[in-house]
Amino acid sequence: MSPAPAELPLFPLQTVLFPDGLLELKVFEARYLDLIAACLRDSTGFGVVCLRHGSEVRQTDQEVEFESVGTRAELTAVDSAQAGILQVRCRGAERFRLGPSRQQPDGLWLAGWTPIEPDPLVAPPSHLEGVAQGLADAIAALESEGMRPFLPPHRLGDAGWVANRWCEMLPIPMPAKQKLMELTDPVLRLEVVEDILRRKSAGS
């Protein structure tokens, strides 16, 4: 395997990408069209970081600020049905911590990065088995309507995977999603999800 690059190209978005999550993008800016072409050519990925301030689309003299922890995205499919526009599907890979960042003349951000260890593989404890079953039921309901929002395999026996999928679905503020993504304890992340679900159920 070739060594990891010292700098990772960044794709700042108003979303949080979780490991093993599905990310679909409509790419039309020149800087990102070039990025996707480079990723295809070199079999590399790019970093997805959530925007704290600024727009996804480049605007003159606009300040951009993004979170210090992101997730590397790997391309799974690229479609160029329209001239100048790419439809891109990605899978979330490992989380990473940003180092110093810089912006190229074309607007593309690059940053040093340090990979974060993946979640340890831990089964949902007995008091959280209902959360895993709830996700299984939600997946079955979505698939019955022809929707498949999660990439296979569905690892319902993995606390981190279950927590991440719930985090993607829950209508919670983006800063809260970011904090959940950054948690290194998958069981704690799942416990927070269970608490959110319980409070939402009590309030409905």
List, in sequence order, every beta strand (DSSP E) within 83-190. 85-103, 109-115
pLDDT recorded at residue 114? 96
Other residues' Cβ atoms within 10 Å of the Cβ of residue 39: 19
The string of pLDDT tens digits covering residues 13-33 is 999 999 999 999 999 999 999
pLDDT band at 128 (very low <50, low <70, confident <90, very high): very high
Q: Grade residue 155 by pLDDT with cuts at 50, 70 and 90.
A: very high
Mean pLDDT of the chain, nearest integer? 92
Superfamily of domain 7-115: LON domain-like (2.30.130.40)
Predicted confidence (pLDDT) at residue 37 exceeds the cutoff of 50: yes
pTM more than 0.95: no
Side chain identity, residue 128: L
For 62-95, write each residue's pLDDT tens digit.
Answer: 678 899 999 999 999 999 878 889 999 999 999 9
Confidence of residue 197 (pLDDT cuts 50, 70, 90): very high
Domains 7-115 and 126-203 belong to one CATH topology: no
Please calculate the CA angle 149-128-198 and round it to the nearest 5 degrees.
80
The domains of the chain are located at 7-115, 126-203
pLDDT band, residue 39 (cuts 50/70/90): very high
Distance in angstroms (rounded) separating the CA atoms of residues 36 and 169: 27
Percent of the chain with pLDDT over 70: 92
Domain 126-203 fold is LON domain-like fold (1.10.4060)
pLDDT at 96 over 60: yes
Q: Report the alpha-carbon distance of residue 73 to residue 79 in Å, rounded.
A: 17
Average pLDDT over residues 112-121: 97
Task: Report which residue type is found at 25.
Answer: L
Residue 155 phi/psi, 5-degree rounding, is: -100, 75
